Amino acid sequence: MKPRSAINSVRMTRFGSTEYARVAYYLREPRPRQRRSYVTYIASVFELDDAEQSVTFQDECLLPVIDRDRVKVLLLFSNAHPESIANGMFHTAETGVANLWGDLISAGFFSADYGILNDPDAPREVCLSVKYDSPFSLAFGCYWSFPTFHPKHLRQLFHPDVEPPGFRDTDARLRRIVKEWRPQAIISFNGEVFGCLTGTSIRGYTARLREGVLERSYRCDQVSCRLFQAFPAAWRWDSDAERLRRQSLKRIAKLLVPGIAG
């Protein structure tokens, strides 16, 4: 398997026979009940080796090659979606343009002609070289490594763990990214991830986000930065969901760059 793009890496994990049989069945099941099938992504995002009892998969991480002296912000998601891996870029929807891009543009984190967002290769190259108008330089990362349609599938696959064997050093992996890229801020788009990083309860966090900003500090050796929680990128559980998502990001943007418009 070759990496789909410069932001993708190929990984391999091995299982015991019982666990491999369960994981392989989960990924190969053509018509599962109450969830989507992963069959169409086998050979592109996942490869299964029955003889070796191993699964090869791709993950993703985008760290700009230049920051242009802007405020560096790491956008931290739960884990990759198989479609974004297949496309070679974070949050590239199966149809249309993913909500995240409109939210980032509205809050002043990013700028782009919507036409380029329909081609996954274009926003990837724009983000790698920070060729957009904004006071921010954005990096994109995942807390968990294995791609799934929904984070809850991770526990269904790897119960009682969230990660496959060999990839359970989750916190250490994030610390390596932070030490390498040194962001001034991290924005978490998953409440469970924010809870893992802070050791705090996330119960009712979306209600708290309606009223204000949810912020803590994150420290990694000699590197420290501000840690914010936002609404999930695809959050839609309110008739006014788009406004709430964007308002949350605008509040964060104004804390980081007080004079930003919006």
pLDDT at 113: 87
Is the pLDDT score of 159 beyond 70?
Answer: yes
The pLDDT value recorded for residue 234 is 85
Can you tell me the mean pLDDT for 84-89?
A: 96
Q: Which of 138, 143, 142, 108 is nearest to 126 (CA)?
A: 138
Handedness of CA 50, 52, 53, 57 (dihedral sign): negative
Q: What is the pTM of this model?
A: 0.96
**pLDDT tens digits, residue range 112-149?**
988 889 899 999 999 999 999 999 999 999 999 999 99
Cα 250 to chain centroid distance, Å, stands at: 19
Give the per-residue pLDDT at 103. 96
How much is the pLDDT for 138?
98
Alpha-carbon span 84 to 3, nearest angstrom: 12
Check whether 104 has a pLDDT greater than 80. yes
Angle at 186 between CA 181 and CA 189, to 5 degrees: 130
Query: Residue 169 to residues 24, 80, 137, 146, 166: CA-CA distances in angstroms?
Result: 23, 17, 27, 13, 8
CA nearest neighbour of 11 among 45, 49, 57: 57
Number of H helices, E strands in the chain: 9, 8
Average pLDDT over every residue of 157-162: 94
> What domains, with CATH codes, occur in the chain?
8-59 (no CATH), 71-256 (3.40.470.10)
d(CA 60, CA 146): 9
Strands of the chain, DSSP E: 8-14, 46-49, 54-60, 71-77, 136-142, 185-188, 214-220, 223-229
pLDDT at position 262: 62
Residue 166's pLDDT band (boundaries 50, 70, 90)?
very high
pLDDT for the residue numbered 85:
96
Report whether pLDDT(216) > 90.
Answer: yes
Is a pLDDT exceeding 80 seen at residue 94?
Answer: no
Q: What is the pLDDT of residue 88?
A: 96
Residue entry with tokens 């912000």: 73
Task: Specify the residue for token string 């018509």.
Answer: 31
Query: Distance between CA atoms of 262 and 174, rounded to whole angstroms?
Result: 31
29-83 residue pLDDT tens: 999 999 999 999 999 999 999 999 999 999 999 999 998 999 999 999 999 999 9
Taking residues 201-211, report their average pLDDT.
94
Q: How confident is the model at residue 202 (pLDDT cuts 50, 70, 90)?
A: very high
- Confidence at residue 123, expressed as pLDDT on a 0 to 100 scale: 95
Do 72 and 109 contact (CB within 8 A), yes or no?
no
Q: What is the DSSP letter of 27?
A: H
Model confidence band, residue 93 (pLDDT cutoffs 50, 70, 90):
confident
Query: Average model confidence (pLDDT) for the chain?
Result: 95
